[in-house]
């Protein structure tokens, strides 16, 4: 299972129900046991409400108590895109037909994205039988929760990256043979990182070269740390 293509979704929302208004979308791709790419979109909250998604007071009150860095991602102070635009980006990002899509809770991220897709008239991005729930897996392998958090909690991308690391840790625990990463896999990631560095700042850089290089560096570091 660890060598499948996985997508880890994390939403920041203004509600808790199946039609919660989306404020940010984070998603991370895992291929062959390695985090390979990520997507992050802040979503214009009004555009979520315009298609019929809903806010609830208790979630808004909860946000008011969170750290300023997390709040700044959902309070409209930063550039954002309309919900259909964010979902279109997610549609481009989830390319693998057999992808396993992980939400944090069986009733949260995947369900809310499906509602949003439906509200925007966009078809499903993955097969329903490939829905996966990280909370259930972490209940089975609680040691995987010990992965240290990097970044800002309740930032959709930082959360998604953290959940992806927890997922990999849990999958390795579930399959002892995959705990030891083969040297070839690490050599391959070193090549990916070197290529990302070579492109950053050149004419081939689409504007995210430095971010991509940093992501690849973190992936390489994690693999090396596991060997240490
Ligand atoms: Mg989150």
By the CB criterion, residues less than 5 angstroms from ion ligand 1 are 10, 159
Ligand 1 centre and the CA of 54: distance in Å?
A: 18
Alpha-carbon distance 75 to 44, whole Å? Answer: 9
Ligand 1 centre and the CA of 159: distance in Å?
A: 5
Ligand 1 centre and the CA of 11: distance in Å?
A: 5
Ligand 1 centre and the CA of 183: distance in Å?
A: 33
Considering the entire predicted model, what is its pTM?
Answer: 0.78
Let me know: does 104 contact 163? Beta carbons within 8 Å.
Answer: yes
Domain of residue 206: give its range. Answer: 181-228
Question: Could you tell me if residue 78 is inside a domain?
Answer: yes
Ligand 1 centre and the CA of 45: distance in Å?
A: 16
Ligand 1 centre and the CA of 26: distance in Å?
A: 8
pLDDT above 60: residue 114: yes
Alpha-carbon distance 58 to 114, whole Å? Answer: 23
- Among 138, 164, 179, the domain-final residue is 179
Residues 53 and 93 in one domain: yes
Question: Could you tell me if residue 197 is inside a domain?
Answer: yes
Alpha-carbon distance 148 to 37, whole Å? Answer: 20
Let me know: does 106 contact 136? Beta carbons within 8 Å.
Answer: yes
> To the nearest whole percent, how much of the chain has pLDDT over 90?
79
Ligand 1 centre and the CA of 163: distance in Å?
A: 9
Mean of the per-residue pLDDT values of the chain: 93
Residue 145 DSSP class: G
Residues 92 and 138 in one domain: yes
Question: Could you tell me if residue 112 is inside a domain?
Answer: yes
Residue 112, both tokens: 């809310």
First to last CA, the chain: 24
Residue 206, both tokens: 């689409």
114 burial level (CB within 10 Å; 0-12, 13-18, 19+)? middle
Q: In this structure, what CATH number is given to the domain that contains residue 61?
A: 3.30.420.10
Question: Could you tell me if residue 26 is inside a domain?
Answer: yes
Ligand 1 centre and the CA of 153: distance in Å?
A: 7
Ligand 1 centre and the CA of 177: distance in Å?
A: 31
Ligand 1 centre and the CA of 10: distance in Å?
A: 5
Residues 81 and 42 in one domain: yes
Residues 80 and 64 in one domain: yes
Question: Could you tell me if residue 157 is inside a domain?
Answer: yes
Residues 143 and 36 in one domain: yes
Q: So what's the pLDDT on residue 141?
A: 95
108 burial level (CB within 10 Å; 0-12, 13-18, 19+)? buried
> To the nearest whole percent, how much of the chain has pLDDT over 70?
96
Ligand 1 centre and the CA of 7: distance in Å?
A: 15
- Among 179, 198, 219, the domain-final residue is 179
pLDDT above 60: residue 58: yes
Domain count, the chain: 2
Residues 158 and 193 in one domain: no
Q: So what's the pLDDT on residue 187?
A: 85
Q: So what's the pLDDT on residue 62?
A: 97
Q: So what's the pLDDT on residue 105?
A: 95
Residues 155 and 47 in one domain: yes
Q: So what's the pLDDT on residue 81?
A: 98
Residues 30 and 60 in one domain: yes
Ligand 1 centre and the CA of 88: distance in Å?
A: 20
- Among 163, 179, 195, the domain-final residue is 179
Residues 131 and 162 in one domain: yes
Question: Could you tell me if residue 1 is inside a domain?
Answer: no
Question: Could you tell me if residue 227 is inside a domain?
Answer: yes
Q: So what's the pLDDT on residue 175?
A: 81
Alpha-carbon distance 48 to 94, whole Å? Answer: 21
Residues 224 and 173 in one domain: no
Residues 102 and 210 in one domain: no
Q: So what's the pLDDT on residue 92?
A: 97
Sequence length of the chain is 228
pLDDT above 60: residue 180: no
Residues 19 and 69 in one domain: yes
Helix axis angle, 109-119 to 83-93, nearest 10°: 120
């Amino acid at each position: 299972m660890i060598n499948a293509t996985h997508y880890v979704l994390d939403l920041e929302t203004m509600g808790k129900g199946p039609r919660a208004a989306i404020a940010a979308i984070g998603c991370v791709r895992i291929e062959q046991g390695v985090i390979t790419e990520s997507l992050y979109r802040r979503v214009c909250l009004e555009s979520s409400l315009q298609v019929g998604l809903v806010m609830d007071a208790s979630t808004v009150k909860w946000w008011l108590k969170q750290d300023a860095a997390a709040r700044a991602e959902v309070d409209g102070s930063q550039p954002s895109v309309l919900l259909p635009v964010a979902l279109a980006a997610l549609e481009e990002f989830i390319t693998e037909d057999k992808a396993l899509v992980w939400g944090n809770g069986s009733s949260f991220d995947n369900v809310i994205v499906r509602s949003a897709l439906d509200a925007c008239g966009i078809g499903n991005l993955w097969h329903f039988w490939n829905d996966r729930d990280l909370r259930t897996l972490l209940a089975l392998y609680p040691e995987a929760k010990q992965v240290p958090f990097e970044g800002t909690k309740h930032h959709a991308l930082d959360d998604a990256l953290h959940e992806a690391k927890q997922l990999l840790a849990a999958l390795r625990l579930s399959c002892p043979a995959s705990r030891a990463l083969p040297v070839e896999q690490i050599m391959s990631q070193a090549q990916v990182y070197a290529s990302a560095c070579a492109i950053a700042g050149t004419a081939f850089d689409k504007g995210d070269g430095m971010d991509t290089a940093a992501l690849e560096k973190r992936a390489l570091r994690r693999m090396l740390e596991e060997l240490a």
